[in-house]
Amino acid sequence: MAQNPTTRKRVTTLRLAQMKETQTPITCLTAYDALTAEIFDQAGIDLLLVGDSLGNVVQGHDTTIPVTLEHMIYHTQAVVRSVHHSMVVTDMPFMSYQASPREAFRNAGRLMKEAGSGAVKLEGGLRVIEAVRLMTENGIPVMGHLGLTPQSIHQFGSYRERGASEEEADQIKTDALALEQAGVFAIVLEKIPASLAAEITNASRVPTIGIGAGQHCDGQILVWTDMMGMSTQFRPRFVRRYAELNEEITKGVKQYIADIHAHKFPSDEESY
């Protein structure tokens, strides 16, 4: 149910920590533009992620690799302009944080200062821990991202589930602990076994946000275009479809074409 926009307070990292403590599920969605972000914010979503998935769903690339820091700043600015309650988190794109902790720190600072984001997210555990620490020690809230990390697609060679083997599961648990110790305020767990996500969630002091990680995480996130059925192609089993917008939009556009061809649009009432 939509919450009264005047009584809802801005969601903060503190609020997310309280939600974990009180076992209140944290609701998250991606957003890439002002119009949809406003709808999600007004509907009562706790956290909006300006995900680098925009490389796939907005820009039409096969991977998130081509997304740049400038793209993330542009889309975050649009989202921030229309959001009043949800916490806004921005993804750090590929190669904006891997080269050195100082470069990562500067780029995260741009996302906060120029784009107006409330926090940043980056992929990886131990390998990015120095960058995470530099940010959290200097006032930049960081969200971790473990399991399937799409920016490493060319290293892994597939978008398969992660953490199914004991070795991979141990690595993800070690990374989660390291991120928590480095001061992240939350960790996204993507496409890992529900039992592993539950184990990490129980052991962790910070909230876990699952995507394809079962129901025992502290919160859930989905890419909004997936859960609203904008694409006919991408249908992984972890995405529940809450609408069929592709069908709805196609229907509307076909009717529009038919009306123009039949000289039914615009009518006299729609003309000046």
Residues that bind ligand KIV (CB under 6 A): 30, 49, 51-53, 91, 145, 188, 190, 211, 221, 223
The span from the CA of 245 to the CA of 256, in Å, is 16
The span from the CA of 199 to the CA of 208, in Å, is 11
DSSP code of residue 124 = B
52-58 LR contacts (CB < 8 Å, sep 24+): 52/91, 52/92, 52/93, 52/94, 52/150, 52/151, 53/91, 53/150, 53/223, 54/30, 55/93, 57/32, 57/223, 57/225, 57/226, 57/230, 57/231, 58/32
Nearer of residues 134 and 222 to ligand KIV, judged by Cβ = 222
Burial of 32: CB neighbours in 10 Å, binned 0-12, 13-18, 19+: buried
CB 227 to ligand KIV: min, Å: 11
Sequence letter at residue 172: I
CB 211 to ligand KIV: min, Å: 5
Query: Which region, left, alpha or beta, applies to residue 21 given φ > 0 means left and ψ of -120 to 50 means alpha?
Result: alpha
CB 123 to ligand KIV: min, Å: 8
Distance from first CA to last CA of the chain, Å, rounded? Answer: 40
The span from the CA of 255 to the CA of 245, in Å, is 15
Nearer of residues 236 and 252 to ligand KIV, judged by Cβ = 236
Nearer of residues 91 and 180 to ligand KIV, judged by Cβ = 91
The span from the CA of 207 to the CA of 210, in Å, is 10
CB 93 to ligand KIV: min, Å: 9
Q: Is 190 a catalytic residue?
A: yes
Token digits for 269? 């009432």
Nearer of residues 53 and 208 to ligand KIV, judged by Cβ = 53
The span from the CA of 147 to the CA of 179, in Å, is 13
Exactly one of 38, 130, 190, 199 is catalytic; name it.
190
Which residue has the CB atom at the shortest distance from ligand KIV?
Answer: 51
The span from the CA of 49 to the CA of 39, in Å, is 14
Nearer of residues 30 and 117 to ligand KIV, judged by Cβ = 30
CB 256 to ligand KIV: min, Å: 31
Nearer of residues 9 and 237 to ligand KIV, judged by Cβ = 237
CB 4 to ligand KIV: min, Å: 28
State the catalytic residues.
190
